[in-house]
Amino acid sequence: MQYRIDPKTGARISALGLGCMRFPRTPLGTPDASAARAIISRAVELGVNYLDTAYLYPGNEACVGAALEELGLRERVLLATKLPHASCRAPEDFDRFFQTQLKRLRTDRIDYYLLHNITGFEQWERLRALGIEAWIARQKAAGRVGAIGFSYHGSADDFPRLLDAFAWDFCQIQYNYANETYQAGTAGLHAASERGLAVFVMEPLLGGRLADKLPDAARRVLDAAGSDRFATPAAWGLSWVWNHPGVTMLLSGMASPAMVEENAAVAEGALPGSMTPAELDAIAHVLAVFERSNRVPCTGCNYCMPCPKGVNIPGCFAAYNASYAHGWFTGISQYMTASAIRTGSPKLASACVSCGACARKCPQHIDIPARLVDARRRLTPGPIGAVLDALARR
């Protein structure tokens, strides 16, 4: 495992961090505790020392806390979680959420604490009016918070303003070879690095879209490149992120010990500036192919869920994109599964009533109701849609 130094705290951080949001789940929708323990145990064994969770990931903090306690690993990892700032209406809410998080995580401190999903400068202004700066100072002085930062899903223009608004220790941005000009992007990576902040990367594989879900034509480009170093599209995508010196660590939502082993092996050799011009040229060709199939930039984060009408929004979009990346019949098959058409109560994209609840929560700023219309037209055209709608109403 390679390690990179946090320029603010001096902490030695593994280049590969464990994003805990995508742990396998039980049939009841809760994180699978046994699977989570196995993933965390293997990750730490292979040198991963940074774990990321959040208050808003259902059941996740409690699962991580229990696993660390049972495995005896709390002192071997840097633990990160996030404040649900949109739910903070009064100054006392900061303590209320934080104390709940400490209890869930079975710890007396959070090493890296983030304001979760900042999308605009005005959100910081609101928190400052509630006294967040004084609250942060108290927590850091008491040793309950180590480093303070924020995860960002806003515009490129607001990002530098936010960087300069407070004495941050680090920031977390969405970054991958398909998102160089999206949200903070490459310019934001450089801006944060130039200010001496640690930069943590989320969605390095765009929710798997740059890995196992990569279009067939893009895979053929990588196969033709014939690299001995990168055996999979995931290895290509992760290495591209690590190739940037300004990246301190990237988070991967590893869902099995085998995935941990694969990513850790890639991390060992993915040093800054190590990709060749030919390898970078292959990525550029892959991106051109990918952009033709990337109709909806959904990462499957599930922030939009649950839908009041029961629509599996991420599933519908995955099927829609797959219909362009891998063929219409593949997309149809995925859509049937996503909408549970084989059950007695299917939830089709046509069930959307455009209430907008989903769009307000989407960190990718997707106009979800409008794009569900596109998915319905693509996946259930003409009489097919009419028949399925009739079945759904039975």
The string of pLDDT tens digits covering residues 286-329 is 999 988 888 888 888 888 989 998 888 988 888 888 888 778 88
Positions of the chain with pLDDT under 70:
340-344, 383-394
Q: Which tokens belong to 230?
A: 């990168």
Predicted pLDDT at 343 = 61
Burial of 382 (0-12, 13-18, 19+ CB in 10 A): exposed
User: CA dist 86 to 138, 205, 295, Å?
Assistant: 21, 27, 29
pTM value is 0.85
Task: State the Cα–Cα distance between residues 124 and 361, nearest whole angstrom.
Answer: 17
Task: State the Cα–Cα distance between residues 275 and 189, nearest whole angstrom.
Answer: 18
Going along the chain from its start, the domains and CATH numbers come out as 3-291 (3.20.20.100), 313-393 (no CATH)
DSSP bridge partners of 51 = 18, 79
DSSP 8-state symbol, 342: T
Task: State the Cα–Cα distance between residues 103 and 75, nearest whole angstrom.
Answer: 16
Predicted pLDDT at 98 = 98
Sign of CA dihedral 139, 142, 146, 147: positive
Number of neighbouring beta carbons within 10 Å of residue 351: 18
